[in-house]
Amino acid sequence: MTITRMLLTTLFLTTLHAQTKQQHLLYVASPGIRNYEEFGGVGVIVYDIDAGYKFVKRIPTWDVPAGQKPENVKGIAASADPGRVYVSTINRMISLDAISGKKIWDKPFEGGCDRMAISPDGKILYVPQFEGPLWHVVNAANGNVIAKIETKSASHNTVYALDGKHVYMAGLKSPLLSIADTATHTVSGTVGPFANVIRPFTVNGSNTLAFVNINGLLGFEIGDIRTGKKLHRVEVQGFAQGPVKRHGCPSHGIALTQDEKEIWVVDGHNEYIHVFDATVMPPKQGVSIKVREAPGWVSFSMDGKFAYSSTGEVIDASTKKIVAALSDEKGRQVHSEKMLDMIVANGKVVAAGNQFGVGMKKK
């Protein structure tokens, strides 16, 4: 092979690699702890996961008038097609191009917004009012409301099933987890009642089990989605249940690993995340991980390699060791209960995660 041909081959391979190179990015909505600007300011902060969670950029969301506090961010969602990220506050929701940061739409919603969820195909958002009586079913392309689902439960948290056929909805004033049929946008069933009102929750990939945090419990309860009955109550052992800084709930954050072998649950008073073995029922308590502040949420990267604590630590899901701690371009600690990852290739989003630790085993 001639030197010229070698050089041309090397150039071709280098160009091909550059064209197919992927970026694994973390998107963090701020202020993601109430309206506390000290934990990352205002906007969507983007990090390069493969570069050790290096700060990439800040995408502007809303301008905050001088002398005023920003609105609390309540949720984040994303879709690969057409590459959008959605951020809700107590009053409104915004749709942004995930690559350019361009604003697609920005709309207030009657009764405000809380923690929403997006359909697997990226076309529909289920948006709870801010602790109101109903959920808005929203066209993700333009923000238009296409249906309303009333539960009168103080609408709060939402999880879309992996198969897209159901949405799980929890309110701050109900011990029942409501299930919506997405074909009709109506309530088709409930799970519970649990021992107290439901706070954060997650479900497994086969839509058979719900794992819920409730008021007054350091730990979680488990419900059978098929029968609607509560199955188990699991209490964290060896740690005192004491006062918490936020949420008024001892455990405000729960997530399943993608393989559904573990359940991770937060402990606001003691500032820990507790890991349970979910291969047995009821799950068995294992390792506990100390974090830098009171955690109020936990989730996982799409590949299952990393756990994200709302306190800003990135935890290796296998070793249970902290491998990074988020900070912004000003050096401030970044804390947020609203973050998710995306994969970008050739300038386009090819995969998007979510803010919920939903199990990925469909059978």
Separation of alpha carbons 306 and 320, rounded Å: 9
105 lies in a domain?
yes
Whether the upstream peptide bond of residue 133 has omega within 30° of 0, thus cis, is no
Range of the domain at 246: 22-352
Mean pLDDT, residues 318-339: 98
User: Would you place residue 357 in the very low, low, confident or very high pLDDT band (cuts 50, 70, 90)?
Assistant: very high
Dihedral angle over CA of 36, 40, 44, 49, nearest 10: -140
* Percentage, residues of the chain above pLDDT 90: 93
196 lies in a domain?
yes
pLDDT in tens, 184-218: 999 999 999 999 999 999 999 999 999 999 999 99
35 lies in a domain?
yes
Q: Pick the closest to residue 73 from 57, 84, 85 (CA basis).
A: 85
The strand order across the sheet containing 54-59 reads 54-59, 43-48, 22-30, 339-345, 348-352
Phi, psi of 62 (to 5 degrees): -125, 145
Joined tokens for residue 169: 């909805």
pLDDT in tens, 17-71: 445 689 999 999 999 999 999 999 999 999 999 999 999 999 999 999 988 999 9
Distance in angstroms between the alpha carbons of the first and the last residue of the chain: 53
pLDDT in tens, 225-265: 999 999 999 999 999 999 999 999 999 999 999 999 999 99
361 lies in a domain?
no
Whether the upstream peptide bond of residue 70 has omega within 30° of 0, thus cis, is no
Question: Is 260 in a helix, a strand, or coil?
Answer: coil
Q: Pick the closest to residue 280 from 264, 265, 260 (CA basis).
A: 260
Contact 219, 233 (CB under 8 A): yes
Joined tokens for residue 329: 């371009």
13 lies in a domain?
no
Phi, psi of 133 (to 5 degrees): -85, -10
What's the number of domains the chain is made of?
Answer: 1
What is the CATH classification number for the domain harbouring 238? Answer: 2.130.10.10
Where helices occur in the chain by DSSP H, the ranges are: 3-20
3 state SS for 68-112: CCCCCEEEEEEECCCCEEEEEECCEEEEEECCCCCEEEEEECCCC
Joined tokens for residue 291: 């974090």
Question: Is 149 in a helix, a strand, or coil?
Answer: strand
Q: Is the dihedral of CA 313, 48, 355, 334 positive or negative?
A: positive
Query: Cα–chain-centroid distance for residue 234?
Result: 23
Joined tokens for residue 206: 């086969």
232 lies in a domain?
yes
Mean pLDDT, residues 332-337: 98
Joined tokens for residue 331: 């050096």
104 lies in a domain?
yes
Separation of alpha carbons 273 and 286, rounded Å: 11
134 lies in a domain?
yes
